[in-house]
A and B are shown apart, each in its own frame.
Chain A
Amino acid sequence: MEHQASAHHDEHPPTTIREYVIIGVVLAVITLIELWLSYSGLSHGLMISLLLIFSAMKFIIVVAMFMHLRFDSRLFTRLFIFGFALASALLIALIAMFNFDETRSLFQASAPPPAATAAPQDGGDGDNGEGPADGGALLVKGQPVAEYFSSTCAGCHGQNREGVVGPALTPASLAGDDALYFDTIKNGRPGTAMPAWGATGLSDADIDVLVTFITTVEP
């Protein structure tokens, strides 16, 4: 028995039961602090930074002490860090890619549009000059219709209305009756991803503007 105990001496970490329990309590306390933080009303940036720091602490404590990496072969540490670093790089790359997408539509759905920057582009669209079909002059919820489309519809229908998840919405592709398009925008299309915009506060007048826009203005 003693022989085995000494033979295995190097195989298990030196941590005692008492230390493990203390580590468990520390993890629980950090979780409590995180819970408090999420209700603390601190500024957004500060709160997120603190939350990330605290969860990183928990992560490292568990990996180092409970998974014994602190005492185990360095090979395991390197392997795990390699996988973790790849995953982190993937996360950063994906988020950056979607955040800085030039169309900007994916992240702008609910945020107010950046006031000055979007305007010239819409002016350019409107210069086709088709009287009432001038995309720059028509407003949906107080925004130029092209801008509204870009921030709300383009996620599914494409920035140039070429169709992505949803169908293309250009004068050439829309040969049906305006009433059909009005109904689709207002009530959605059951069984598809098209929501009922009438239920989300889009007025009939706004929908009329959108129908005019997609059926008469070339992208």
Chain B
Amino acid sequence: MAAGTHEVEHHTSLGVDNRKLLMWIFLASECLFFGTLISTYLIFKGQSLVGPYPDDILDIPLTSLSTFVLLMSSLTMVLAVYGAQHGRLGMMKAMLFATILLGVGFLGFQVYEFRHFAHVGLNLGTNQFGASFFVLTGFHGLHVGIGVAYLISLLFGSMRRSGLGKDRALWVDTAGLYWHFVDIVWIVVFTVVYLIPS
């Protein structure tokens, strides 16, 4: 009788779901990945011999807006998880969709920013600032892109085979962890790269 209702809850010796554990281990390693990139940025940003320099080019108001968009995507993501955990499928789908849209919106800001920088003469090879800036924010953007694909696959999965029900809420929960992590990385990047003056 319990088998039918709890197909997802495998018993594990740690008492936590393996998928969730895997995601947390992955995120812990991602801390180091971004820690390295942020360190590199901090070390290199003041060493450019030629411009454009960070103060000439970074657009704080515009990036605040994209930061806001990403923060709100975290809110919609957590509401999607809420919907999944409480069996409210309609809410979950709507919120997943909203999260995807906001994620794409954030990427749109980033594409605009990168194109603008290239237009005024900053690219990966221009100077130390350009190299470390594009590698750091580019990898973050890549993570957002992967997150968007991840969420789209969840959304499609929830539409097929009678949906991602409550028992499968863990899939949404795990995707949510990834998404929020990408958001907190941006919280740090926004402060370190954009807000703190060089």
Contacts and interface: CB of A to CB of B under 8 A. Distances in A.
B32 A66 contact: no
Interface in A1-51: 1, 3-5, 7-8, 11-12, 15, 17, 20-21, 23-24, 27-28, 31, 34-35, 37-39, 44, 47-48, 51
Interface in B10-41: 14-16, 20-21, 24-25, 27-32, 34-36, 38-40
Interface in A93-110: 94-95, 98, 106-107, 109-110
Contacts of A4: 5, 87, 166
17 contacts: A1-B87, A12-B82, A17-B79, A20-B78, A24-B71, A24-B74, A27-B75, A28-B72, A47-B197, A62-B180, A76-B20, A80-B31, A82-B28, A87-B35, A88-B35, A109-B47, A156-B49
Interface stretch (B61-69, B111-119, B138-146): B61-69
Given A20-B79, A98-B43, A87 B187 contact: no
A45 B182 CA distance: 28
Interface of B: 5-6, 14-16, 20-21, 24-25, 27-32, 34-36, 38-40, 42-43, 46-47, 49-50, 60-61, 64, 67-68, 71-72, 74-75, 77-79, 82, 85-87, 166, 169, 173, 176-177, 180-181, 183-184, 187-188, 190-191, 194-197
A8 B166 contact: yes
Contact of A83 (B6, B29, B190, B196): B29
Contacts of A200: 50
A20 B25 CA distance: 25
Interface residues of A, number: 62
Dominant SS among interface residues on chain B:
helix
Interface stretch (A52-60, A119-127, A141-149): A52-60
Given A73-B16, A80-B28, A90 B36 contact: yes
Contacts of A76: 16, 20-21, 24
Contact of B196 (A11, A48, A63, A87): A48
A68 B16 CA distance: 14
A82 B191 CA distance: 22
Interface of A: 1, 3-5, 7-8, 11-12, 15, 17, 20-21, 23-24, 27-28, 31, 34-35, 37-39, 44, 47-48, 51-52, 54-55, 58-59, 62-63, 65-68, 73, 75-76, 79-80, 82-84, 86-88, 90-91, 94-95, 98, 106-107, 109-110, 155-156, 193, 195, 200
Given A44-B197, A66-B74, A76-B20, A83 B32 contact: yes
B115 to A, nearest CB: 23
A31 B195 CA distance: 11
Q: Which 5 A-B pairs have CB atoms at the shortest separation, nearest pair first? A: A83-B28, A87-B35, A24-B75, A12-B85, A83-B31
A68 B60 CA distance: 30
Nearest to B53: A110
A140 to B, nearest CB: 15
Contact of A35 (B60, B166, B169, B173): B60
A83 B82 CA distance: 27
A4 B9 CA distance: 13
A84 B30 CA distance: 9
Given A4-B5, A24-B71, A66-B74, A38 B60 contact: yes
A8 B177 CA distance: 19
Given A12-B86, A34-B195, A155 B35 contact: no
A25 to B, nearest CB: 9
Nearest to B23: A76
A35 B27 CA distance: 28
Contacts of B39: 90-91, 94-95
